[in-house]
Amino acid sequence: MLRQRPDSRLRPWVSHYWLSRGGGPHHVVLPDGCVDLVVATTQRDVTVWLYGTATQRTLLSVDPAVRYLGVRFLPGQARHFLSMSAGELTDSAEQVSGRDALGLAEAPWRAVGARDLFRGLDAVLLGLLAHRTPRRLALDRVLARLHDSPHGALATLAADCGLSRRQLERQCRTHVGVAPAQFAMIRRCHRVLSALSQTPAGMSLATLAAVAGYADQSHMTRELRRFTGLTPGALLRDGAGEDVAFVLADGLPASSH
């Protein structure tokens, strides 16, 4: 799996690019609040897909004969490049053509090396932005604050950012694909996974819950089981492994989807 940060001019909207050849029949996907644009290349054809955020741990089928090139948009930011909303893609994948394929199905991807592939994505996305100016929303402020501190009261956070609770709910479902409370849960669980990757041997679950910002251990256990299918105890015992590959650090996952 190869990952690359985009051109600096794209980083307010794009998390990273990734390149993978399917290594097994399935890959575990954890919710992250992101939309991925994926170019699937075989010896015969090129197809373009949009993957919305998952709302629970999901097994994604992959084909070892296919090379997958992806763009992972930051939460809420695919709207600047795509006509389909994140809300239309939640828990689903759609093969796309026309505007939402961004011309990628016609590009010569097969015989191109990774560096040139990533540069090609930069050129395509920057070319789009040359003809449209991204418009900031109050939602973007909410998402940034939830990324850093996902335990605050949503009504207070919405008001601080100039939104009613109903406006926040509508914008988040449309542009992220999940409700604000669900996005906050996703961020909390990623904080737990990040803490797990740095947990000293012998740390108690109660201490881990406190480190991750939960009020108590039972709340953390319920959310993490829903998120990963595993308990914190199992994760501490067995390590994150391949099944919880999306530990976020500095805005990038430790492994890509």
User: 143 near 15, Cβ under 8 Å?
Assistant: no
According to the model, what pLDDT value does residue 202 have?
67
Domains of the chain, by residue range, sit at: 2-129, 138-253
- The set of residues, in sequence order, having a beta carbon less than 8 Å from that of 178 and lying 6+ positions away, is 31, 33, 53, 55, 90, 172, 186
Any idea of the CA torsion for 170, 175, 179, 184, to the nearest 10 degrees? Answer: -130
Token duo for residue 4: 């690359």
The architecture (CATH level 2) of 138-253 comes to Orthogonal Bundle (1.10)
User: 33 near 178, Cβ under 8 Å?
Assistant: yes
Beta bridge partners of 73: 14
Instruction: Name the nearest CA neighbour of 66 among 45, 94, 97.
Output: 45
Supply the DSSP symbol for 97.
-
- pLDDT tens digits along 86-118: 999 999 999 999 999 999 988 777 667 889 999
User: 48 near 104, Cβ under 8 Å?
Assistant: yes
- pLDDT tens digits along 185-243: 999 888 888 777 776 666 788 887 887 778 889 999 999 888 888 887 777 665 544 33
Distance between CA atoms of residues 198 and 201, nearest Å? 9
Q: pTM for the whole thing?
A: 0.86
| Helix H or strand E segment including 162 | none
